[in-house]
Every structure is written in C-alpha cells, then in structure tokens.
Structure 1
Amino acid sequence: MSDTQPTIEALLAAGVHFGHQTRRWNPKMRRFIFAERNGIHIIDLQKTLRQLEVAQKLVRDVVLRGDSVLFVCTKAQVAGIVKQEADRCGAMYITERWLGGLLTNFQTVKKQLRRMKELEAGSAEGGEWENYTKKERLMMTREKDKLSKYLSGIRSLTRTPGLMFVVDAKKEKIAVAEANKLGIPIISIVDTNADPDLITVPIAGNDDAIRSVELITKAIAETIAEARREAPVREESDDVAEGAMTYSSERGTEAAGDRGDERRRRRPRRRRAKPEAIAAHLKGAEGEGEPGEAAPDATDE
C-alpha cells in the first residue's frame, strides 16, 4: 500500500490543499479545513492523506472480493485523465454525461449495452449491415455512435459496481444519489464547497486542478492494479483450502468439498407409470396362460 501512497510533499506540489473561496464553502467541510488564506480555504493535507489511505484499503477489499470499480468524472478538463487511469487499471468509467437511472434502472442499461454490441457486430466487415439499405445503415450508425459515446466505458459491466470513485461529488450529484440509494460505497474527491456526509470515504482536496485530480486518481488506479495482480494468488490459495475440514455441532467433521458435492447431488426422480401402460401389461400377462388353464383363485374356489 505504501508504494501507491503519495507523500504530503507531492500533494502540496500538486495544489491539493487549495479549496474554494470562503464565501462558497460548505460548513460540513469544517473538519477538513486547516486555515484561511486570502479569502481561500486551505485543506489539511494530513487528513487528506489519512482519508486516501482508508479509500485505498476499501478499493483493495472490493477488488479482491471480485467486484468492479466505476470511475465517474464528467468535467471536461480532467475527464481524459480519469479515462486514461481507468483504462490502465481495468476499471469501468463514465466520462460523458451521466445517464439518469444508470444504476437504479440497470436492467434497461443492460439492454442498451446488448444493443450496442449487436450494432458493433453488424457494422463489422461481413456483418448483417450489408443486407440493409444505405439509409438504414446511416440510422444504425448514428445509434451505435450515440450508445458508444455514453456506454463504451461500461461495456463489460454485467451487474452494478461494488464501488464508485467520483472526482467532483457536487457536480456528480445524480450519480452519488443513485449509488447511495442502492447502498454502493462511494469514494470521492471532495472540495470545500461539497457535502462530505453523502460520501462513504471523502478525500478532501482540490477537484478542479488537473495535477491534483491526476495524483489522487492515479493512487486509486494503482491500488486497483495492485489488487488485481494479487487476485490470482488468492484464488489458488482458495483451491488449496478446498480439502480443509469443517466442524459442525450436529454432524461432526466433514470435508468442505464433500459437503458442496452433497448439495449438488439430487435425488433421482421416480417415474410414475401411465394407466395405459399398466392395463396393457396386465392384458399381456393374462394372454400368456394356456387356453383352458384356470387361474389359481378359480380352482381354489
């Protein structure tokens, strides 16, 4: 974790400590403010570094658990940096307009992702588009470009993310509200004009300066990349532990693997004979006896 942790000197050089004008502040950010200089709030970098460490630990736990991380930044001046870092660490990203309901109406988003992939496959060489007219191909191209513009960063998203990293919590208020509604933890760069109570792990810092955003985003991205490299090792250790013994007060000792196999094993179904088959079987049995031979019950009588 120490390799991905920036120093206070690096934060200071990047201008992370510069907040907004004092007249634009949010009183809830008081605990992160160190002082006031020339009408501008100065952020306490010791607390910023401490919060960044907590955020990196949360990111690590989420990635090792197998969940995805979603980067959200629609600020034009820093969106390119966020996209670059997300691509580098293999995270999802939204750098264009946040589509309302992207998380709370995820089933519809999944349909749009499926449609985008169908259009991309059809537009490829030898695809189905060759069977359409020029006007139809033009309309489908426009639809594909529009979907790709907003959804290309989450094309491999199959379920809601396990964590969301936001650059400007105030600007991305819709994304923050949807994540809070679904209980998705949020890490965000929070300037002195934002509400830190809406964020799971607020990182107090300058969310306007390019170097400031780049430094913090890079620290989060490197933590994701580091956790991804450790994930295969963790999976191998889980395979080794499959033969471990578990203990139960009711059943005693049993192998964990055997218990899993027992759950998967199903009791065979008993097939019920049809009435027509039963009648045919009885009729055949009666016909097998020789003519004139009486049944045992008849002779006894």
Structure 2
Amino acid sequence: MATRPQLSLLPRQLQMTMLTGRARLQRLMPPQSRSGLQAEATGSSGSTEASEQQSRDSVAHSTLQMLSVRGLLAAGAHLGHAASEQHVRMTGHVFGTRGGISIINLDHTLAALRRAAGVARGVAAGGGTVLFVATRPALHRLAVDAALACPAPRGAFVTKWIGGSLTNRARVLRRSLAIPHSPHIVVSAPDSAARDSPPRSRDPGQAPPASTAVRDALPALIVILDLKNNLHAVREAHALAIPVIAICDSDCDPALVQYPIPANDDSISSVGLIASLIAAAVREASVF
C-alpha cells in the first residue's frame, strides 16, 4: 500500500484550493454559532444568566474551532488511500491524486460534518441514545472519550462486533459490567460462554474493559469511526431502521450509510476531530 503524503508535500495551489472552504465557514455553522450566542438579556439579568451565557459561548467556540477546513487539513483528513484502492462511489468526494494517493475534497467533508452534527444534535435533543462504534484498537479510546463527553444516555462499543448486539441485545448483552462513574455505558462480554453468567461490577481502578455498549435501550443514532470493520453493525442498524453516521475513507462505500463523512479514517487526529465534533453537537443539544 502506498504511503500517505505529508501536508508539506502537497502543492501550494492544492492547499490553497482546499482552504477556500474556510471562507464559507460562517455559512456552514449553525445559527447559534454564527451569531456568537450573544445574550439578549440586559446587564441586570444576574450571575446565573451570565454563567449560562459563558457556557454557551464555550460550546460554540469549541465547535467553531473543530468545524473548519484548516483544522481538517492539519489533522490529515484529506489523505485517502492509494488511488488504486479508491471505491467507485467515492469518486465524487475525491479532489484528485498526489503521489498515487487519493486526496479527499474537504469542502465535501465540511458539508457532511455539518449535516451529521445537525442529525446528532436533533437526536440528542429528543433524548435519544448516541452509540459510538470503533473496533480498531487504535480508535478505542476515541470512541470511549466521545461517549463520555456526551450527556446521558450515551454509549460506545470498542471490540469486534458481536452478532445480535442490536437485534438480539437481551441475550448478547445479558452479562454486562457497569462503569461506576457512567451508568449509561456498560461493558458486554464478547465470549458466548459468558453470556449466561450473572452481571458483575467493575473496580474503578481497573483498566477500561474491552468492549462497551448500550444495554437497556436501542440507540437512536450510531456513529461508526471505522466503517470497513463494522459492516455487521451497519446491517443490524438497517434492519432496525437506526440511522448511521460513518467516516468513509477513499476505499469505503459511502452508500452503505445514511450520513457518510468523507475523511481519513486511519489518522488518530482526523478521527478524533470528527468524533469530538459530533460529541460537541450532542452537548449543544443539552445546553440550548
């Protein structure tokens, strides 16, 4: 497989073209963020309103920082796989090639992020559970961190997908390890022999368990950070009419999910940026 080029190796014309999306950032941002969340109350509103306004400004600023072409470019979100591995349905999302590597169009990435963030915000506003899925070991921490950053109910699944985790969850997730500081994230035992064992608690000092999943209710939205490793999860989600947001690298089929985000799914910084953005959108729904 060809090695992905560093940003410095990209021609300046390509870099500048990809950065044109920054001028459209204000248009792409949600109305709350574009307006800077200016307070409508007068100075006599009191310290409580001031504190709430400060919290809102902080959330909006965080989202603004993440939702930018420059940030995506710095994170390496534009670097796809070898051009020879490019999926035919990703052609429209690829800007071109450089050194045999597909270069993802970050304007498309930014638009897809805006759409996905809006979906996540709507689900959270309705009290739905957002489930983050990342079964590649390097991405485990990102999925768990994104889930913990969201208000409850939330969840993450970070091992090989167990068949029936959604469609037969009453049995598959019967044995679970509750995380004390976050009762809405539970750990499922992947081995079939352990499924009939009674639940047990986990010592807070122990290392994070191998897998986590939502136990008590179906998620209203699934966010997949490594699509090609979780096709079974996609099929189960489709069977239950659960919408899916997924990062789609240049070798993925974006038609598999309702809300594909064209971006590099191998870079920790790229995946982390996108996961953080979606988590921020979920938090916004609880703030406003």
SS in 1 for 2:131: strand
Tell me how far 1:201 sits from its aligned partner.
0.6
Q: Highest CA radius of gyration, 1 or 2?
A: 1
Distance (whole Å) between structure 2 residues aligned to residue 170 and residue 110 of structure 1: 23
Q: Which residue of 2 aligns with 1:70?
A: 131
2:112 to 51, 73, 83: 51
1:174 CA drift (Å): 1.0
2:246 is matched with which residue?
Answer: 188
Trace 1:228-243 onto structure 2 (pairs within 5 A). 228-230=286-288
Alignment of 1:134-283 (within 5 A): 149=209, 153-154=212-213, 157-230=215-288
1:55-84 CA-partner distances (Å, limit 9, x unpaired): 011111111111100000011112112211
Secondary structure of the 1:170 match is helix
The runs of at least 4 consecutive aligned structure 1 residues that moved more than 2 Å come to 109-113, 140-145, 148-151
- Quick one: which amino acid aligns to residue 113 of structure 2? L
The change in CA–CA distance for 1:167 and 1:159 in structure 2 (over 3 A counts) is: same
Deviation at residue 31 of structure 1 after TM alignment:
1.1
Q: Secondary structure at the match of 2:245?
A: strand
> 2:122 & 2:225 partners in 1: Cα distance?
20
TM-score (norm 1): 0.63
TM-score by length of 2: 0.65
Between structures 1 and 2, the one with greater helix share = 1
In the alignment, residue 148 of structure 2 is paired with which amino acid? D
- Residue type of the partner of 1:31? G
Give the direction of change, closer, same or farther, for the CA distance of 1:76–1:111 in structure 2 (3 Å limit): closer
Aligned to 1:111, the other structure's residue is in SS state coil
The 1-side partners of 2:209 and 2:259 are apart by 29
Aligned partner (choices 86, 90, 111) of residue 174 of structure 2: 111
Within the candidate set 87, 90, 97, 1:29 is matched to 90
Where structure 1 has 5 or more consecutive residues not aligned to the other structure, the ranges are 121-139, 231-301
1:154 positional shift: 2.9
Distance 1:177 1:219 in 2: 25
Q: Check whether the contact 2:129–2:155 (CA below 8 A) recurs between aligned residues.
A: yes
Task: Kindly indicate whether the alpha-carbon contact (under 8 Å) linking 1:97 and 1:150 is maintained by their aligned counterparts in 2.
Answer: no
CA distance in 2, matches of 1:51, 1:10: 15
For the residues of structure 2 that align with 1:213 and 1:204, how far apart are their CA atoms?
11
More off after superposition, 76-85 vs 177-186: 76-85
Structure 1 contact 70–164 (Cα < 8 Å) conserved: yes
CA distance in 1, matches of 2:82, 2:266: 13
Task: Write the distance in 2 (CA, Å) between the matches of 1:214 and 1:95.
Answer: 15
In structure 1, how many angstroms separate the alpha carbons of the residues matched to 2:273 and 2:119? 18
Q: How many residues align?
A: 203
Alignment pair present for 1:7 and 2:68: yes
Residues 59 and 224, structure 1, Cα contact 8 Å, conserved in 2: yes
Aligned-pair CA distance for 1:95: 1.2
Distance 1:33 1:65, change over 3 A: same
Q: Deviations over 1:41-65 (max 9, x none)?
A: 0000001000100001111111111
CA offsets, 1:232-271, max 9 Å, x none?
A: xxxxxxxxxxxxxxxxxxxxxxxxxxxxxxxxxxxxxxxx
Opposite residue 273 of structure 2, the aligned amino acid is: L
